[in-house]
Structure 1
C-alpha cells in the first residue's frame, strides 16, 4: 500500500478543502498521514481515512515524525517557506499544488484575468495526478466527532427542524456582509417557520438563537445538524459544504474566481460581481468607497431565495419533503 503525507498547516477553510485529496487517495487505497496546526486537528480526531495525524511542531520534531511515518510521497498543499523547507529537509519526493499566485495578483491588483468561478480543490486534484491518482470530481469531506455531535444536540435540543445555521463572522472585517443584514435574513427564515442559530453574540428571540464560544469540534457538530448554512467567505462555510449541508456563501471584496467558492454537493454562492471585485485575496485592507458596494447590492431577500431553492433541491435529491 503506497503512503502519502499531506501538508496543509492552515487556515480553517483551506484545511477543509484539502480533504478532497484525502478522499481521492483513499479511493486508490493509499495509507494517509496529515500534517497541520494544532488548532485544526479536531477536524480529524475520528477520521478513519487518516492513519497518522501529525501536529506541526519544531522543524526537527516535525521532520522526525514525517520520517517515522515513512511516506512514499509528500503532497504539499501549503506551498510556503516552511512547507518547502520541511519537504526539502525530509528528502522525500514531493508534489505541490499550483497556487495560481500570479493570476490572483493580476485579478486583485489590476482586475486582469478570468473571473469565472474556480476552486483550489481542482488544483489540488490535478497535482496528485502526477502520482497516478486521477479523481477530478472528488469533493471535500469531513467527519464530525461523536463528542462534537453530542454537544451540538444539547445546544439544539429544544429546537425543531428545519434549522438554519448562520455564521456572520470572518477573520477580516472587510469580508463580513454585516450583522444587520444577517439578522434581517434570520427574520425572513423565522417568518417562514425555520428556527435560526447564529454563531456569535446577540439577543435571542423565540425562533432566533445566538451561540458563542464553542470549540471547533462542537461547531462542526452543530453545522452538521443544520438544514441550511449561510456564511461569508470563511472557514465554517467550507465546513458546511464538506458536510453536504445546503450552503450559501456570500462574497463581497473577495471573489469565487480566486478559487475559494465552497465545493460541495449542495453548495453555491452569491456575488454582486462588481468591476472592482476582487480587491483583496483574503480580506485584508479597506474598501476605497464609503460603503462596500459589493455587499450593498446583495439583499437579505436575495440570499433567502437562493437558500430556499437550494434547500428544496437537496431534499428532492434525497427523496423526501417536509
Structure 2
C-alpha cells in the first residue's frame, strides 16, 4: 500500500504533520509513505522513512506532479487550498482525505471537520479517522532528527557557547512580529548568551537589534539543517508565532511564543514551554493576518518586555 501526505505550506506546518508520519508508520508498518512538500522539506524530514516528492507550485509543475503521485492508494491533505484539492482529484488517487474547510472540499472522497480550539497536531491527526486508526494509537509528539555530529559542527563553525538562548523575532507575516525594542530589552536582560536567527530577508531588522544588544547574530547565515542544529543545542527558544517554536518542540527544547495578532486558540502554540498573548479588544485577528483591522497595530506592542523576561527566567 502506498500512502501520500500532501502539505505544501510553511516550515512549521510541515513539522506539525510529523505525528501523521509516525502514526501511519506504526499502524501500517509495511506501507510505503510519500510526502509532497516544498523543496526544503527533504532536508527538514531527514531521518524519516519516506519518499519525498518536491513541489514548488509553478504552473507546469502543478500538472507534472500528477504523474509522480498517481500510483498512490490514498492521500491525506492537511493543506486546504483549491489547488491541492484539484490536483489530488486529477491524480485519480482512490482515497483522498481532507478537511471540510478546504476549498473545493467536495473533490475529496472523505472530509473531516476542521475546528479551532485544538492544537494543529490533533487537527491533523483527525485526518486518520477515516482509516479506522484509534485515538489511543495516535502519536501526538512532533519529532525532527539532528545527530550529534551536526550539532558539533555547528557549534564549532559559529563558535557557540556551551549554553545559550535562541531568539527568533521574525515571521513570513510582519503582523506576527513582536516589536524590535521589545526584543532588544529582552536580549539586554537575559544573563545567558543570545543567538539571533532568521532568514536573509530579515537582515535589516536583525542588524537593528544587534546594534543595541549583545548577541550572536546568525540571521541569514545558516542552512536549514544548521538552524536545526543551532536550536537543538539551546536551553530555550523565544520566538514570534513562527516555525522556530515548532522546530524547538520537535527537538525537545522548550519554547516561549510571543503572540501579537494571532492567538494560541488557532492551535499553533508550543506544547513544550509557554506563551504570552496581548490583552486587547481586537485580539486575536486571524491565523495569517496581512492587514491590521483597526489600523492601530496595537497588538505589536501589547505584550510587555517585563512579562517576557519573567517567563524566560522561569524556564532558565
TM-score by length of 1: 0.80
**What corresponds to 1:297 in structure 2?**
302
Q: Does 1:21 align with 2:20?
A: yes
Q: Distance in 1 between the 2:239 and 2:169 partners?
A: 6
Q: What is aligned with 1:308?
A: 313
Which residues of structure 1 form unaligned runs of 5+?
Answer: 102-113, 312-322
Distance 1:297 1:278 in 2: 12
Find the counterpart in structure 2 of residue 278 from structure 1: 284
Question: Which residue does 1:199 correspond to in 2?
Answer: 197
The 1:120/1:199 distance shift into structure 2, 3 A limit, reads: same
Alpha-carbon separation, structure 2, partners of 1:246 and 1:205? 26
CA contact (8 A) 1:223 1:229 kept: yes
Q: Which residue of 1 aligns with 2:73?
A: 72
Match of 2:142 among 140, 146, 155: 140
Q: What are the residue-to-residue correspondences of 1:99-118 with 2, within 5 Å?
A: 99=101, 117-118=117-118
Distance (whole Å) between structure 1 residues aligned to residue 315 and residue 24 of structure 2: 30
Contact 1:148 1:222 in 2 (8 A): no
User: SS state of the match for residue 76, structure 2?
Assistant: strand
Task: For 2:101 and 2:226, locate their aligned partners in 1 and report how far apart those are by CA, in whole Å.
Answer: 31
Shift of 1:53: 0.4
C-alpha contact 1:139 1:242 (8 A) present in aligned 2: yes
Q: Are 1:39 and 2:44 an aligned pair?
A: no
Q: State yes or no: 1:165 paired with 2:166.
A: yes
- How many aligned positions are there? 286
CA distance in 1, matches of 2:158, 2:303: 29
Tell me the distance in 2 between the aligned counterparts of 1:218 and 1:3.
Answer: 32
Distance 2:48 2:138 in 1: 22
Aligned to 2:125: 125
Query: Aligned match of 2:235 in 227, 234, 251?
Result: 227
Specify every segment of 5 or more residues in structure 2 that has no aligned partner in the other structure, as ranges: 104-114, 199-205
Match of 1:6 in 2: 5
Who is 1:320 aligned against? Answer: none
CA distance in 2 between partners of 1:71 and 1:100 (Å): 21
Please give the alpha-carbon distance, in whole angstroms, between the structure 2 residues aligned to 1:7 and 1:73. Answer: 11
Q: Please, which of 259, 262, 287 is the counterpart of residue 254 of structure 1?
A: 262
TM-score normalized with structure 2 length = 0.81
User: Matches of residues 207-226 of structure 1 in structure 2 within 5 Å?
Assistant: 208-213=215-220, 214-226=222-234
Note the alpha carbon deviations across 1:57-99, whole angstroms, 9 max, x for none: 61343122213xx332101111212211221112211111355
C-alpha contact 1:198 1:209 (8 A) present in aligned 2 = yes
CA RMSD, 1 decimal: 2.6
